[in-house]
Amino acid sequence: MENVKDIVLDYVKQEYLEDGDDREIKYDTALITGGFVDSFSMVSLKVFLETKYNISIPDDKATPEAFDSVNNIVDLLKGFGVN
Amino acid sequence: MHNISSYEETIENFSWKSVEEELGYKPGDTINIGEYCTDRICRLGMGKRKALIWQDHSGNVKTWTFDQMRIDTNSIAWYLENMGIKPGDRVCLFMDKVPELYLGFLGILKMGAIVQPLFSAFGTESLETRLEDAKTTAIITQKKHLPKIRNILKDTEYLKYIIIVDQTDELHLKDREHILDVENLPKLDHYHIYKSTAETPSVLHYTSGTTGKPKGAQHVHYSIISQYITTKYSLDLKEDDIYWCTADPGWVTGTSYGIIGPWSNGITQCVLDSGFTAEGWYSFIEKHKITVWYTAPTAIRALMKEGEEVIKKHDLSSLRFLASIGEPLNAEAVLWSDKVFGMKFHDTYWQTETGSMVISNYPCMKVKPGSMGKPFPGMEVGLVDINTHEYFDKKGVVGIIAVKPGWPAMFRAYWNKKETYDQKFVNGWYLCGDRASIDEDGYFWFVGRDDDVINTAGHLVGPFEIESALLEHPAVAESAAIGKPDQINMEVVKAFIALKPGFEQNKMLELEIMNFIRKKLSPLAMPQEIEFVKSLPKTRSGKIMRRVLKAKEWGEEIGDISTLENDM
C-alpha cells in the first residue's frame, strides 16, 4: 500500500506541475515559498487532503508553513491521526 | 519631514505643469519611461545607487545599480530590436518576479514596443485570451511556464517569438523559441532609445469586467508624470529609502508602483521572488532594512492571522511608512498595524484604468481607520448618482466614484474596444465602478463594487470568464459565479453549479472542478466553494440572476425579483 508521503507527493506533482514542466519536486521541496502552490491553490490541496483522509483541517492549522513541503503536510496529517 | 507637509496647501498649489518641470519635461518632448527610470537617473548623478535588490526563495540575492540597469535595459532593447520586433508591437512578460521581468519591462519600452505584463499563474485559457486579443508578437518567459505556451502555440500564429530567459540548452528549443541570456548580452553603454512622445502607447494591462472577455487597458509614456508624483507624495519616498512593493508586475500595482514610480524617483527597491509566509516576509524586511512598505490588505490580514509572536522574532525598526492597495483596508487592520509596528497602514485607492493613485491617505494627514483617504492633488474626484450618473455633493450619500478625465496616467483605450471605453465616460466623468460615500471632512469611504466583478485579494475576476470555463467541464450543465465574503481576501469565488444528468455531486467532483478552473484560468478564479443546485435563478429571457445568489450569500435584501423565471 502506498504511504501517505508518496500519495501527497504524487498528487502535488500531478496537479501543480504542468505537463512538460521538468522541475523536480521532492519531499522537502518548498511548495509555497518555492512558487509551486500559491495561497489560492492551497485551498484545493486542503480539499484533497480532507476528502482523501476524511478529516477537517481548521483554518488556523492550514498555514503556508504547514503546506510548504510534503514533509510538513505529512507532519500536519499526523496530528489528525493520518499516518 | 514628509514630502508634503500640508494636504490643503498642496491641493492649492498643485499643477501637473509643475510636475512636468520637476522631471524636466516640456510638451512635445520625447518622453520614454525606460529612459526616465534609468538614463535620466544616471544623468542626475545617481548611477551608483542601488536600483534593484532581488532575492529568491532560497535567500540568494542579486543587485543592480541604476547604471547597471541602464546598460542591461539597453542591451535587452537592442536584442529585441535585432530580433525583428518593431515599435508598437506587443511584447508580453510572462514570468515570476525574476530580475529579467523588471529589466525586460524597461528594455521593451526603450525600443518602443508595448509591454503586456501577464500574471504568471494564469492558466492556458487566460493566457491565450489575452495574447489573442492583443495579437502579441513576442512573449518573454521562463522555462517553467513554457508548457502553457507550447499548449496554445498552434492557435497563435501572430506570436512570432517565444523568448526564454533561463534556457541554456539550444538543443531543446522548439518552433519560434529563442534564448535571452541577459548576463551574457553585449553590454551597451549607448542605445538609440525610441523617441516616444506623451501619447505613445506604453503598457497594456488586462482587467476583467462583468461581461465579455478581459479588456486591455492601454496606457501611454506620459503616465510617468502621475506615477512619479503619486509615489513621491502618497508613498513619501525619499532618496535614502529602501522600498518594497509586494505586488506582482503581472498586475498594475506591480508596474506603476513596483517599477515606474520608485525608479523614476531614483529609489532603491527590493523584490522578493518567493511565495508568502509571515516568517519569510518579516525576515526580508529585517535583512534589507526596508523603510517603506506598500502591500495589499489581503497580505496584511494574512499577517494578522499569523499573530504577533513571529513579529517579535524580528527587528523591524527600519520601517517608517506603510501603505496598502488592492481592496479596502479594514479599520481592524489599520489599528493592528499601529499596535504591532507602531504605525498605521495608509490605504490608497486606484485601479488598472486610472494607472496611478486616485485617493490616498497621505503621511501628513490624520488616518481615519477604514477610510480610503482624500483625492490626489490635481485630480477632481467625486461621486455620481448610482442610477442617473449625475454628479452630486452630499455628505454621507452613497454614489459611484468618478474622476474628471485629464490626469496623465489615465488609460487611453481598451485595446480594440472603443465602444466599451467610451461607455466608461458619462456626463464628463470617468466612472470607476466602485461605490463610496464622502464624510464631512472630505474622506472617502468604500462601500462596494457597482457591478458583479469579484474582487479577490485585490484582483478583479470576471464572473463571465469563470462561468464560460465551467461550462467546458463535462459535468456542468449551467453555472453562476459570485464573490463570497472572505476574512482574508475580502471576496473569494463561489460557484453555483447544476450538473448534467448522469453526474452525481460529491467532494471528488467538486475538487476536480476546482482544479479544472485553476489550470484553465488561474488560482484566483478557482471557486473556493462550490454549491450544487438543481437550477439557477433566471430571468424570463434566460439570463442568470447573479444578484439573487449574491444577496442570499451576503445576507442582503434580494430586491426586485419580478423578472425571476423560476423559484430557486
Of residues B315, B310, B403, the one with CA closest to residue B355: B403
Question: B540 vs chain A: nearest CA distance in angstroms?
Answer: 36
Of residues A34, A41, A17, A27, the one with CA closest to residue A73: A27
Q: Is A32–B277 a contact, with Cβ atoms under 8 angstroms apart?
A: yes
Measured distance CA(B449)–CA(B184) in Å, rounded: 48
In the predicted structure, residue B184 carries a pLDDT above the cut 60: yes
On whether any CB of chain B is under 8 Å from the CB of A39, the answer is yes
Q: What is the pLDDT of residue B319?
A: 98
On whether any CB of chain A is under 8 Å from the CB of B121, the answer is yes
Q: What is the pLDDT of residue B561?
A: 63
On whether any CB of chain A is under 8 Å from the CB of B197, the answer is no
Write out chain A residues lying below 8 Å of B526, CB-based.
40-41, 43-44
What is the mean predicted confidence (pLDDT) over B325-345?
A: 94
Q: What is the pLDDT of residue B168?
A: 80
Write out chain B residues lying below 8 Å of A50, CB-based.
507
Residue type, B449: R
- 3-state SS track over B161-179: EEEECCCCCHHHCCCCEEE
Nearest residue of B to residue A24 by CA position?
A: B144
pLDDT in tens, B491-522: 999 999 999 999 999 999 999 999 999 999 99
Grid coordinates given for A54:
476524511
Grid coordinates given for B466:
469563470
Residue found by looking up cell 505584463 in the block? B117
Q: Is B275–A51 a contact, with Cβ atoms under 8 angstroms apart?
A: no
**Which ranges of chain A have pLDDT less than 50?**
1
What is the mean predicted confidence (pLDDT) over B390-395?
A: 96
In the predicted structure, residue B394 carries a pLDDT above the cut 60: yes
Return all residues near B268 (Cβ < 8 A) that are at least 6 apart: B49, B50, B51, B52, B53, B241, B242, B243
Residue found by looking up cell 551597451 in the block? B188
Q: Is B275–A38 a contact, with Cβ atoms under 8 angstroms apart?
A: yes
Q: What is the pLDDT of residue B562?
A: 62
pLDDT in tens, B222-275: 999 999 999 999 999 999 999 999 999 999 999 999 999 999 999 999 999 999
Prediction ipTM score: 0.94
Measured distance CA(B203)–CA(B37) in Å, rounded: 15
Of residues B480, B475, B473, the one with CA closest to residue B494: B480
- Residue ranges of the domains in chain B? 7-436, 454-554
Question: B524 vs chain A: nearest CA distance in angstroms?
Answer: 6
Query: What CATH number belongs to B454-554?
Result: 3.30.300.30
Query: What CATH number belongs to B7-436?
Result: 3.40.50.12780
Lowest mean pLDDT among B144-158, B261-275, B420-434, B535-549: B535-549
pLDDT in tens, B427-454: 999 999 999 999 999 999 999 888 889 9
Task: Please tell me chain B's helix, strand, coil percentages from 3-state DSSP, rounded to the nearest 5.
Answer: 35, 25, 40
User: In which band, very low, low, confident or very high, does the pLDDT at B285 lie, cut at 50, 70 and 90?
Assistant: very high
User: In which band, very low, low, confident or very high, does the pLDDT at B187 lie, cut at 50, 70 and 90?
Assistant: very high
Q: For chains A and B, what is the number of CB pairs under 8 angstroms?
A: 77
Residue found by looking up cell 490643503 in the block? B8
On whether any CB of chain B is under 8 Å from the CB of A61, the answer is no
Write out chain A residues lying below 8 Å of B507, CB-based.
47, 50-51
On whether any CB of chain B is under 8 Å from the CB of A58, the answer is no
Question: What percent of chain B lies above the pLDDT cut of 90?
Answer: 87
Nearest residue of B to residue A23 by CA position?
A: B144
Q: Is A33–B524 a contact, with Cβ atoms under 8 angstroms apart?
A: no
Task: Please tell me chain A's helix, strand, coil percentages from 3-state DSSP, rounded to the nearest 5.
Answer: 40, 0, 60
On whether any CB of chain A is under 8 Å from the CB of B518, the answer is yes
Q: What is the pLDDT of residue A83?
A: 85
Residue by residue, DSSP assigns B363-429 as: TTS---TT--BEEPTT--EEEE-TTT--EE--TT--EEEEE-S--TT---EETT-HHHHHHTEETTE
Write out chain B residues lying below 8 Å of A67, CB-based.
none
What is the mean predicted confidence (pLDDT) over B288-292?
A: 98
What is the mean predicted confidence (pLDDT) over B155-176?
A: 90
Measured distance CA(B181)–CA(B174) in Å, rounded: 17
Q: Is A32–B275 a contact, with Cβ atoms under 8 angstroms apart?
A: yes
Q: Are B448 and B485 in contact (CB under 8 A)?
A: no
Q: What is the pLDDT of residue B543?
A: 79
Q: Suggest the residue from A28, A45, A47, A56 to mutate for an interface test with chain B (most B CBs closer than 10 A).
A: A47
In the predicted structure, residue B563 carries a pLDDT above the cut 70: no
Q: Suggest the residue from A11, A13, A18, A32 to mutate for an interface test with chain B (most B CBs closer than 10 A).
A: A18
Nearest residue of A to residue B299 by CA position?
A: A39
What is the mean predicted confidence (pLDDT) over B462-482?
A: 93
Question: B232 vs chain A: nearest CA distance in angstroms?
Answer: 31
Measured distance CA(B187)–CA(B181) in Å, rounded: 12
Question: B156 vs chain A: nearest CA distance in angstroms?
Answer: 19
Q: Is A43–B528 a contact, with Cβ atoms under 8 angstroms apart?
A: yes
Q: Dihedral (C-alpha) B307, B313, B314, B315: value to the nearest 10 degrees?
A: 120
Question: A34 vs chain B: nearest CA distance in angstroms?
Answer: 6
Q: Are B247 and B325 in contact (CB under 8 A)?
A: yes
What is the CA angle A14-A18-A23, rounded to 5? 85
Question: B356 vs chain A: nearest CA distance in angstroms?
Answer: 27
Q: What is the pLDDT of residue B308?
A: 94
Of residues B92, B130, B355, B330, the one with CA closest to residue B226: B355
Nearest residue of B to residue A47 by CA position?
A: B511
Question: B354 vs chain A: nearest CA distance in angstroms?
Answer: 27
Q: Is B275–A64 a contact, with Cβ atoms under 8 angstroms apart?
A: yes
What is the mean predicted confidence (pLDDT) over B474-481?
A: 94
Q: Is A38–B302 a contact, with Cβ atoms under 8 angstroms apart?
A: no
On whether any CB of chain A is under 8 Å from the CB of B147, the answer is yes
Question: Which CATH number does the domain A4-11+28-78 belong to among 2.60.40.1220, 3.60.20.10, 1.10.1200.10, 1.10.1760.20?
Answer: 1.10.1200.10
Largest Cα–Cα separation, chain B: 71
User: What is the pairing mode between strands B529-532 and B490-499?
Assistant: parallel
Nearest residue of A to residue B305 by CA position?
A: A60
User: In which band, very low, low, confident or very high, does the pLDDT at B541 lie, cut at 50, 70 and 90?
Assistant: confident
In the predicted structure, residue B131 carries a pLDDT above the cut 50: yes
Average pLDDT across chain B, whole number: 94
Q: What is the pLDDT of residue B411?
A: 98
Q: Is B276–A65 a contact, with Cβ atoms under 8 angstroms apart?
A: no
Q: What is the pLDDT of residue B236?
A: 98
Q: Are B527 and B486 in contact (CB under 8 A)?
A: no
Measured distance CA(B153)–CA(B132) in Å, rounded: 11
Question: A70 vs chain B: nearest CA distance in angstroms?
Answer: 16
User: In which band, very low, low, confident or very high, does the pLDDT at B56 lie, cut at 50, 70 and 90?
Assistant: very high
Question: B95 vs chain A: nearest CA distance in angstroms?
Answer: 12
Q: Is A40–B524 a contact, with Cβ atoms under 8 angstroms apart?
A: yes
In the predicted structure, residue B568 carries a pLDDT above the cut 50: no
Measured distance CA(A46)–CA(A67) in Å, rounded: 9
